[in-house]
A = this chain, B = another copy of it.
């Protein structure tokens, strides 16, 4: 008997233990998913989330972003300040933006932005709260307002709701903008995972942004903007029909305000005009017509409609929802932050994965300055370059016998962790760099004094985790990255061949030059020239030699 009763008791007991889990509790316990696993990574993630938000806000308000970042030691913890000249935040929204996970303006629309989840900055606050028990300190002023709003906000994790601690209105010397200050357990890093490298890479992909940074030692670095144009504002788009699953289609049909199927297809999707819509409906059959009432469409009809969409030729999605950095701008960014012998960039045409438009850009910076010194001047004379090796400036480029450095970007944001699981890394490894004259051990990155920059811009970047550190390797994305790498690789190969020729030429010429004086002496004897005539002849010969060879 007791055996029989046990399961009942269990079912009731187990029911009593069922509880709702708040999203904040979930991510507090799983904070490594958001990039807050170690103090070193947490610091960088916090800076990144705040800077991303700041730049997004400025761009949306069409303001040239000016960002100030400060990291300092404070009572044994780390203090981080990020300040922007953006539009400011309306008072009623401040607490929720900083004190609630999954709250934001970017999740529900299809258009390119740095943030997309509405989690990052609140998560940084939650980490500060967990690690040192301090709330976020916010200051924000909307242009036109006399005073700024100042408040301290933490998260009530059991309810995923903001707790406001103090709120007052204070004078602030910024006409508009937002300032967030966080305290947390953190560890400033040197090298590839440092705030410095993150900001430098941000400057490369965002040449319209000015960033000033003050590090824990009080050293100030400024990355000034190098172009005078804001990137255009990405347009919002509707989903593309080819990316819609059956279940989603059924849901959209039952939620639409449109009164005819034709209007539904035209209004709620991108790339569908009346003609395409009519063709889809005709293809679907099943007694569906242009005037069918969407909400009355049966399951079997929806299934037929879904199949018809998959089988129809529909134009590719519009691409003004994506704003690439642009070849000129990218080149400027590379030039101002990486010193190299050779640069090449390419912006691929837009493509789509699962109905989401995306666009790939690739840049290469090759050769530490000074590695190859020969150059030809205007008169055709060859010289060795005399360049100071600015060691601080070559951080981003690999040494001669190291694997090339990868600079990965998604929607203009540098990706600093999880390199090995990223689509970009995979595409670089799958590219045959030997064909371009580089050394590449099997299954690895090419070994060369080179930085490879890849930028993937999309209305929805498929990150492999909430911490947005790597891109899921969808086949369409891999393909586009590889095409971009190949284009740049060919340019690089041309440069390397030219350099090789130049070097050979230089060696040959040096050889001839070595014997020119002897030829002079021989001529002097044969033709009985004076010393001056001999020298003039040698100079003339030298000159002729350079001019004929220089092309």
Contact = CB atoms under 8 A, between A and B. Distances in A.
Interface in A262-302: 299, 302
A15 B472 contact: no
Interface in A82-112: 86-90, 92-93, 96-97, 100, 102-105, 107-109
Interface stretch (A3-11, A65-73, A208-216, A359-367): A3-11
Contacts of A433: none
Contacts of A507: none
Best-buried of A10, A29, A472 by chain B (most CB within 10 Å): A10
Contact of A245 (B33, B131, B465): B131
Nearest to A178: B11
A512 interface: no
Contacts of A176: 7-8, 11
Given A7-B88, A245-B185, A32 B472 contact: yes
A127 to B, nearest CB: 9
Contact of A11 (B32, B61, B131, B133): B61
Given A32-B472, A88-B7, A107-B21, A15 B102 contact: no
A509 B130 CA distance: 71
A491 interface: no
A8 B143 CA distance: 5
Interface in A223-250: 245-250
Nearest to A144: B8
Given A23-B102, A102-B26, A472-B37, A7 B63 contact: yes
A387 to B, nearest CB: 37
A132 interface: yes
Interface in A461-505: 462-466, 472
A336 B376 CA distance: 75
A135 to B, nearest CB: 10
Contacts of A61: 6-7, 10-11, 14
A470 to B, nearest CB: 10
Contacts of A249: 133
A103 B19 contact: yes
A517 interface: no
A22 interface: yes
A129 B251 CA distance: 9
A531 interface: no
A103 B86 CA distance: 39
A90 B88 CA distance: 50
B97 A32 contact: no
A15 B247 contact: no
Contacts of A465: 33, 464-465
Contact of A421 (B25, B88, B103, B421): B421
B97 A18 contact: yes
B247 A129 contact: yes
27 contacts: A4-B143, A6-B62, A6-B143, A7-B63, A7-B86, A7-B87, A7-B143, A10-B57, A10-B61, A10-B87, A11-B61, A12-B90, A12-B142, A14-B60, A18-B96, A21-B104, A21-B117, A29-B107, A32-B462, A33-B466, A130-B247, A132-B245, A133-B247, A133-B250, A185-B245, A421-B421, A464-B465
Instruction: Give the top 6 A-B pairs by smallest Cβ distance, nearest first.
Output: A10-B61, A7-B87, A15-B90, A17-B105, A133-B247, A21-B102
